[in-house]
Amino acid sequence: MVYLDHNATSPVLPQVLEGMLPFFAEQAGNPSSVHRSGRGARQGVDEGRRRLAALLAVHESQIVFTSGGTEANNLALMGCAARRRFQGHVVISAVEHASLLKLCERLNRCGMAVTQVGVDDQGRLSPEAVQAVLRQDTVLVSILHANNETGVIQPLEEIAQLCHHHSPAIPVHTDAVQSVGKVPICFGRLGVDMLSLSAHKFGGPKGVGALVVEHALGLEPLLLGGGQERGRRAGTENVPSIVGCGLAAQWAQETLAEEGRRLRHLQQTLEGRIQTAIPDSVILGQQAETRLANTSAILVPGIHGETVVMNLDLEGIAVSSGSACSSGRSQPSHVPVAMGVSAELATSMVRVSLGWNSTAVDVDRFVVSFVSVIKRLRQLSAPATQA
Amino acid sequence: MKHPVYMDYQGTTPMDPRVLEAMLPWFVEKFGNPASRSHAYGWEAEQAVEEAREQVARILGADSREIVFTSGATESDNLAIQGAARFYRREASGADKGRHHLITPVTEHKAVLDTCRHLEAEGFTVTYLPVQKNGLVELEALEAAITDETLLVSIMAANNEIGVVQPLMEIGRLCRKKKVLFHCDAAQGVGKIPLDVEAMQIDLLSLSGHKIYGPKGVGALYVRRRPRVRLKPLFHGGGHERGMRSGTLPTPLLVGLGKACALAMEEMEEENRRVLGLREQLVQGILSQLTHVEVNGDLQHRLPGNVNISFGYVEGESLMMAIKEVAVSSGSACTSASLEPSYVLRALGVSEAQAHTSIRFGLGRFTTQEEVNFVVQTVVQAVNRLREMSPLWEMAQDGVDINSIQWDAH
Amino acid sequence: MAYNERVLDHYENPRNVGSLDKNDPQVGTGMVGAPACGDVMKLQIRVDDQGVISEAKFKTFGCGSAIASSSLVTEWLKGKSLDEALLIKNQQVAEELALPPVKIHCSVLAEDAIKTAVADYRQKQKSMG
């Protein structure tokens, strides 16, 4: 089997699982307990926090562990909005992850105004366009870092700067679920106030994520009772998963540059060969200055993406036609549509996302199968168009 | 015998090796996202998740469609209480419209109490119900507290500090009769006492993986379908769990939770008998060798694996230090870093002074007779040594009544 | 929380546990704290004819830090005059035992116990004329 759907989830790195195992067994205490077994668990949590903090160059106290990226996004947006009693204006981009769009629909129903800022044909957001929609009553800006479908990375530094220039009191949040562990991130330099991440997107386990928070920022907690995570997130710490998150972060920090180069090379091979074999294919965001090295969203005119994905699955190749959370639906993704792609062309999208265990052989197998599937599908539909 | 001897099974339980074994394939090899619909990795993960859901449903006598996976009992409690409160206040129509009153006993877990307190700030009113000296809820008092405005009663199955088991059947019947929702925090009860959401007429039930030999970071909320209970979600987004709880499902943790439920269901009866025998051995061993020792909370209606004992004239934290070869807790693990005596014991009418002298012993699946003997011996020795150092013990021996003295509170 | 080594040492090998005859005119007794607060400290000193503390004993109901604080001050008290004894401050105790913030009150209690014991001794001497 060839798995090229890492933006949906990645297998846990074997050495990460190895490091987690003691915390399922002999170190299985409750970190809130004062006895020895509790202290062992507490040390695991502290160590995990330290490692994640190092990856993002933040202080350990800035990390709030959650059950994953969705909870982190909710804590950021709902936590901020609740502080403002669900009043005011929220700015997001048109290419946020579907789950964050849903969350903003919720804010909207609670009475908040939400503005979506559009992107250009390469999926890029212009900082000035964000600045232009800021209002007197803007209370939150949330812009995703790297898009899950195209991999296009937004110029967050400039955006955060302009927002803070408009008013230093506006918290800027970023959903960095797809970029953490894949590109170097210095939280301070990025200039945002909150950042969401999820461990299973960079070789850690599912069921754990974090919200990184600027020191001074106040948030209304979503989960109450027990006072863990400095009162920002109650519940017994998910010790083994936090340990795993830390180890995955450490691995990412150590291999980031090298992995980036390796994946970029694979990506160039993959996209080059596809575009040569299928000249009318389009790679979304290919002209953007910054794009993840692991993600390629391929459009092929006249083809239905779902059909391609199903055919590839039969050949033992796992890719996706959109984000996992909404796969199975047949409407086109909002991301290519926001980039000005026609609805019809958008439904042809196939997303290929590489990860830590992807090899040149995987890429080769994908390219060969993809090209032959496209040819086959085109032959099937060709007589109809000629007739 | 492993050291330290673990007797803190209400704090958390070690994972059953069979649970870990069931989980292991789902990290590295079978790692798919259960929401991925386009390939086999996703399908096999989804299948595993649905099997786990069946296993969880079975131990509660529920339908698998009534199980919502969460990150643990704290989230389940928050989702149940905040979710129901906000839904039935704002969006319900007809007879349910605008109800804003909640009832919960003062001995509930912080996850319930803090959530209720938070809701008070949103305009809800909460009755914090006192309990009897044995820790049990008085049904007449509960009935009297229910008004036309009451939308939800939240009562735990078994208490985390003193292990007392509430009369769920009667509470359920009363709540149904009065047409209020019954939420039960069963984090400590699942797998230890028989639970049946139909027979007990429970509408919402929270459970946790790591209290039943499963993994941390996972739990579930049972949400009744008939008559349907509606909730406002806490996490919005991908629309997982039928919209009630968004977020990628952590397959290995869910597989572990399911396996833990299956094992608990299979082995509960036999295990309860064994653990109860060990507890009796522990209590008898201590009571027969020490005077001025008192068991807190009802001993009949109680989890087999819990006993909470006050050792007169010996401060609990120093006792924990003296028996550091035994992992126990004084008060709840979540609050034991503070200096406040346990609010649960205080609610039973235990004096502050006595609350400071109490230790919770939690026994469970891996507790052995040898360990119990060791604990009895260690505790008796330590208590005797600390009493020799205790000015209060000295005064008691001299016939001075400690309570007659005017202490200056500092 | 993990205890500091010095606390553990005093806790496991407490110095000068015991009682002196509280009716002895040479003995000063200080009993501070309250059972409801989780700590009661009894500190006793014997003062020789030169006004020097020749013996100090304690009994404590309380956490490890409370026991260690009282044990430590009984060591410090021996050989000191009453005025010197009153110079012992809770900060010194806290520092010596590296007490965490939540345990500072244990050292305060130890200082209070010294003051009360010295006052008790002086009161006895005064009433004897």
Q: Smallest Cα–Cα separation from A270: which of A366, A355, A191? A: A366
- Looking at the domain covering C5-123, what would its CATH class be? alpha beta
Identify the residue among A6, A26, A33 best suited for mutation to test binding to B, counting B beta carbons within 10 A and taking the highest: A33
Cβ–Cβ below 8 Å for B407 and C36: yes
Task: Say if residue B94's pLDDT is above 70.
Answer: no
> Exposed, middle or buried by CB within 10 Å (0-12, 13-18, 19+), for A142?
buried
Q: Where are the beta strands (DSSP E) in chain A?
A: 2-3, 63-66, 89-93, 113-117, 138-142, 172-175, 194-198, 209-213, 282-283, 295-299, 317-318, 350-353
Helix/strand/coil percentages in chain B, nearest 5: 40, 15, 45
Q: How confident is the model at residue B335 (pLDDT cuts 50, 70, 90)?
A: very low
Nearest-CA distance C78 → chain B (Å): 19
Q: Smallest Cα–Cα separation from B230: which of B36, B94, B394? A: B94
Cβ–Cβ below 8 Å for B391 and C66: no
Mean pLDDT to the nearest integer, B366-383: 97
Candidate from C3, C31, C63 with C-beta closest to B315: C63
Give B-chain residues touching C62 at CB under 8 angstroms: 315, 318
Candidate from B33, B234, B328 with C-beta closest to A9: B33
Q: Which residue has the higher pLDDT, B280 or A218?
A: B280
Nearest-angstrom CA–CA distance, A157 and A167 = 15
Identify the residue among A83, A206, A229, A307 best suited for mutation to test binding to B, counting B beta carbons within 10 A and taking the highest: A206
- Residue B73's identity, in one-letter code, is A
Tell me the pLDDT tens digit for each residue of C30-51.
999 998 888 899 999 999 999 9
Query: Residue B119 in contact with residue A82, Cβ under 8 Å?
Result: no
Give B-chain residues touching C109 at CB under 8 angstroms: 410
Nearest-angstrom CA–CA distance, C122 and C127 = 9
Q: What DSSP line would sit under A344-380, residue for residue? A: HHHTT-EEEE--TT--HHHHHHHHHHHHHHHHHHHHH
Give B-chain residues touching C4 at CB under 8 angstroms: none
Task: Say if residue B91's pLDDT is above 80.
Answer: no
Q: Which residue of C has its CA nearest to B338?
A: C102
Nearest-angstrom CA–CA distance, A12 and A203 = 5
Question: Helical H runs in B123-236?
Answer: 139-145, 168-178
Task: Say if residue A232's pLDDT is above 60.
Answer: yes
Cβ–Cβ below 8 Å for C34 and B351: no
Percent of chain B exceeding pLDDT 90 equals 83
Nearest-angstrom CA–CA distance, C97 and B277 = 43
Q: How confident is the model at residue A384 (pLDDT cuts 50, 70, 90)?
A: low
Task: Say if residue B170's pLDDT is above 80.
Answer: yes
Strand partners, B5: B326
Query: Scanning the structure block, which residue is given the tokens 């509470």?
Result: B171
Query: Residue C21 in contact with residue C115, Cβ under 8 Å?
Result: no
Task: Say if residue A386's pLDDT is above 50.
Answer: no
Q: Chain-centre distance of CA C125, in angstroms?
A: 20
Query: Residue A367 in contact with residue A325, Cβ under 8 Å?
Result: no
This complex has an ipTM of 0.92
Q: Which residue of A has its CA nearest to B75?
A: A223
Tell me the pLDDT tens digit for each residue of B28-56.
999 999 998 889 999 999 999 999 999 99
Cβ–Cβ below 8 Å for C32 and B408: yes
Q: Chain-centre distance of CA B245, in angstroms?
A: 22
Q: Where are the beta strands (DSSP E) in B284-332?
A: 293-295, 306-311, 326-327
Q: Which residues have C-beta within 8 Å of that of residue A195, sequence separation ≥ 6?
A: A56, A145, A173, A174, A176, A180, A185, A187, A211, A212
Mean pLDDT to the nearest integer, A350-364: 98
Mean pLDDT to the nearest integer, A155-168: 96
Q: Which residue of C has its CA nearest to B337?
A: C1
Backbone angles phi and psi of C44, in degrees to 5: -125, 140
Q: Where are the beta strands (DSSP E) in A183-336?
A: 194-198, 209-213, 282-283, 295-299, 317-318
Nearest-angstrom CA–CA distance, C48 and C46 = 7
Q: Which residue has the higher pLDDT, B324 or A163?
A: A163
Report CA-CA distances (Å) from C49 to A318, C25, C83, C85, C125: 92, 11, 15, 16, 12
Give B-chain residues touching C57 at CB under 8 angstroms: none
Cβ atoms within 10 Å of B319's Cβ, excluding its own:
23
Cβ–Cβ below 8 Å for B248 and A29: no
Look at residue B97 in the predicted model and tell me its pLDDT: 59
Mean pLDDT to the nearest integer, A180-186: 97
Cβ–Cβ below 8 Å for A8 and B33: yes
B311 touches chain C (CB under 8 A): no
Task: Please report, for chain C, the start and end positions of each structural domain, with discontinuous segments joined by +.
Answer: 5-123
Report CA-CA distances (Å) from A99 to A69, A124, A175: 10, 20, 11
Look at residue A329 in the predicted model and tell me its pLDDT: 55
Establish how many alpha carbons lie within 13 A of residue C111's alpha carbon, considering only the half-sphere containing its beta carbon: 15
Give A-chain residues touching B252 at CB under 8 angstroms: 205-207
Strand partners, A295: A353
C63 is catalytic: no
Query: Residue B152 in contact with residue B181, Cβ under 8 Å?
Result: yes
Candidate from A5, A67, A328 with C-beta closest to B71: A67
**Torsion angle of alpha carbons B54, B58, B64, B69, nearest 10°?**
-80
Nearest-angstrom CA–CA distance, C44 and C20 = 7
Look at residue B321 in the predicted model and tell me its pLDDT: 87
Q: Which residues have C-beta within 8 Å of that of residue B305, sequence separation ≥ 6?
A: B9, B10, B163, B192, B275, B279, B362, B363, B364, B367
Candidate from B313, B393, B409 with C-beta closest to C36: B409
Query: Scanning the structure block, which residue is given the tokens 């002086």?
Result: C122
Nearest-angstrom CA–CA distance, C46 and C27 = 4
Element (H, E) at B82: helix B73-90
- Residue A113's identity, in one-letter code, is A
Q: Chain-centre distance of CA B110, in angstroms?
A: 10
Q: Where are the beta strands (DSSP E) in C1-129?
A: 27-34, 39-47, 53-61
The model scores a pTM over 0.95? no
Cβ–Cβ below 8 Å for B408 and C40: no
Task: Say if residue A273's pLDDT is above 90.
Answer: yes
Task: Say if residue B102's pLDDT is above 70.
Answer: yes
CB pairs under 8 A between B and C: 83
Length of chain A: 387
- Residue C89's identity, in one-letter code, is K
C61 touches chain B (CB under 8 A): yes
Domains and CATH numbers, chain A: 14-251 (3.40.640.10), 256-379 (3.90.1150.10)
Tell me the pLDDT tens digit for each residue of B247-290.
999 999 999 999 999 999 999 999 999 999 999 999 999 999 99
> Exposed, middle or buried by CB within 10 Å (0-12, 13-18, 19+), for B207?
buried
Tell me the pLDDT tens digit for each residue of C57-111.
999 999 889 999 999 999 999 999 999 999 999 999 999 999 988 889 999 999 9
Task: Say if residue B305's pLDDT is above 80.
Answer: yes
Q: How confident is the model at residue A38 (pLDDT cuts 50, 70, 90)?
A: confident
Look at residue A387 in the predicted model and tell me its pLDDT: 42
Look at residue A328 in the predicted model and tell me its pLDDT: 54
Handedness of CA B229, B232, B235, B237 (dihedral sign): positive
Look at residue B336 in the predicted model and tell me its pLDDT: 47
Q: Could you list the active site residues of A?
A: 325
Tell me the pLDDT tens digit for each residue of A89-113.
999 999 999 999 999 999 999 999 9
Give B-chain residues touching C34 at CB under 8 angstroms: 353, 407-410
Look at residue A330 in the predicted model and tell me its pLDDT: 65
Tell me the pLDDT tens digit for each residue of B123-148.
999 999 999 999 999 999 999 999 99
Task: Say if residue B334's pLDDT is above 90.
Answer: no
Cβ–Cβ below 8 Å for B39 and A10: no
Over chain A, what is the mean pLDDT? Answer: 94
Q: How confident is the model at residue B333 (pLDDT cuts 50, 70, 90)?
A: very low
| DSSP assignment letter at C51 | S
Q: How confident is the model at residue B184 (pLDDT cuts 50, 70, 90)?
A: very high
Look at residue A30 in the predicted model and tell me its pLDDT: 84
Look at residue B351 in the predicted model and tell me its pLDDT: 87
C37 is catalytic: yes
Cβ atoms within 10 Å of A272's Cβ, excluding its own:
12
